[in-house]
Structure 1
């Protein structure tokens, strides 16, 4: 079953979910004690926020610079951007054990990125990514990747030999919580990421686990934007109101509209004249009938 599922998943569109496993595997390879590689620019690196943690400052610097060098060699913007984002997650959760605030973690990341640029031929290629990161986006990034951590663990357990089939996982509660948050904040990027996760999760439940019934599937992410529904029509009306005089005066639209209006007015006038003519003839015929009636009455007397 695992072979079949992997063969199908090969064509599944969510590349980030697969790539992130590769990022983790690459970073884990740098942690091994059998890997003696050192980065000269990291040997004397010190950071006051990295004390008494799993790795010392020099080790964190070395792993970070090596991974950025690895991403640089890929020459693929998808891998570079998503790998760079995953590295933030690794720094925050793995290296710093979630003990630093998002702001302090970002400051550390920027510091290490500067070392990569200045002393390891980074050429500032990742600056655009870190400049887009802030407290809010990093918080959502951690949630999104953690959701995949939970899913990957569930997937690995269920596709192992002799596993007892399960149709539900801890992903359901996490997903539901995150959907509520993205809808309340009108965060379309976060909501879209959750939509992608939902497709992969439901794909696994249906095609690998063969679980039947909607109760085992993640519900859709439906975000109802009242503000946008009100503003968009108003803006369209305003734009139409502003450009209509210009179209009427300086483009062929004006003469065309005047022609249509004149034509309609002529048709209307013709209809009115025809109605008046018919009414006049009716009145004349009516008067003639009365006259003949009176004449007949007079003659009969």
Structure 2
């Protein structure tokens, strides 16, 4: 049994649940028409699809509300962002546009059902979170193709492609500070390696992915400090209880004595040079008087 870490990105590996929810919770014949989406137009969507996408988003949010489980709603909101991203016009795809459109659908839902607010489930929403979420959806989507009868690549090619994506995202994990992103990569690593135990893919496909190397900040700080303490203690022992220490002590004392003698000579020289020359001063005022007869 795989031990999956709980992260804000867990939906990436269980997106089929939410995909089915959003796919099945609408009808093309208009029998579930959401009047609050009348004339809805967004610059991020194709005009002829804007109303339909709005309706599906509002119905999906209503299904999340009906479920009631907080974690289910949290993950469901993240899946909605991913779904919106797939429907946005290609040249308008950006995290900030996705979040703006997501918020528009939340407002439409509040018009549809004013008694429920989703704001409590949006505390961890940000452009960085959304960027990482889309990367993880891409990773799991590529890997999960192996379970489909018809796919865009054969199983081993898809496995290799997902391994390459993992390695790319690993570098981003190290460069960033999103622990949930790194934890979800670890979850994928377990899923991947569990599949590869029974896989018949060639040896060129890695069976084990590189581990996530955690950096212990406490250890990073404490190790140099400990080294300084050890060196200081060693030098103290060396100085206090060994012949080398005695020689160093004697040398330091000699240097100190030489320095003191030099200072004393310097002071005496300065004092001598500053003594007034009385005779010299008197000479300035010594006048010769000659009698004139």
Match of 1:187 in 2: 178
Count residues with an aligned counterpart: 217
Q: Distance in 1 between matches of 2:51 and 2:35?
A: 10
Equivalent residue number for residue 166 of structure 1: 156
Aligned pair in 2 of structure 1 residues 193, 18: CA closer, same or farther (>3 Å)? closer
Check conservation: 1:60, 1:95, Cα contact below 8 A: no
How far off is 1:96 after superposition? Answer: 4.1
Residue in structure 2 matching 1:84, options 77, 85, 96: 77
Alignment of 1:220 onto 2:215: no
Over 3 Å counting, the alpha-carbon distance change for 1:215 and 1:111 in structure 2 is closer
Displacement of 1:44 after TM fit? 2.6
TM-aligned CA deviation for residue 106 of structure 1: 0.7
Give the number of the structure whose residues are more often helix, by fraction. 1
- Superposed counterparts of 1:289-300, under 5 Å: none
CA displacement, residues 78-111 of structure 1 (integer Å, 9 cap, x when unaligned): 2211111011000012344473321122111112
Instruction: Tell me how far 1:135 sits from its aligned partner.
Output: 1.2
In the alignment, is residue 28 of structure 1 matched against residue 23 of structure 2?
yes
**1-side partners of 2:172 and 2:99: how far apart?**
23
Q: Aligned pair in 2 of structure 1 residues 228, 136: CA closer, same or farther (>3 Å)?
A: farther
TM-score (norm 1): 0.62
The counterpart of 1:39, out of the listed 24, 34, 47, is 34
Greater C-alpha radius of gyration: 2
Residues in 1 aligned to 2:165 and 2:15: alpha-carbon distance in whole angstroms: 19
For residue 142 of structure 1, the aligned residue among 125, 134, 153 is: 134
Cα root mean square deviation, aligned: 3.2
Aligned counterpart, 2:120: 128
Provide the C-alpha distance between the structure 2 equivalents of 1:215 and 1:50, rounded to a whole number of angstroms: 40
SS at match of 1:117: helix
Equivalences for 1:147-296 in 2 at 5 Å?
Answer: 147-157=139-149, 166=156, 168-207=159-198, 209=199, 215-225=206-216, 227-230=217-220
Assess, with a 3 A threshold, how the Cα gap between structure 1 residues 193 and 85 changes in structure 2: closer, same or farther: same
Tell me the SS of whatever aligns to 1:89. Answer: helix
Contact 2:2 2:190 in 1 (8 A): no
Q: Secondary structure at the match of 1:190?
A: helix
Q: Which has the higher contact order (CA 8 A, sep 6+)?
A: 2
Residues 164 and 84 from structure 1, CA distance in 2 versus in 1: closer, same or farther, beyond 3 angstroms? closer
Unmatched 5+ residue regions in structure 2? 5-9, 225-293
SS state at 2:206 partner: helix
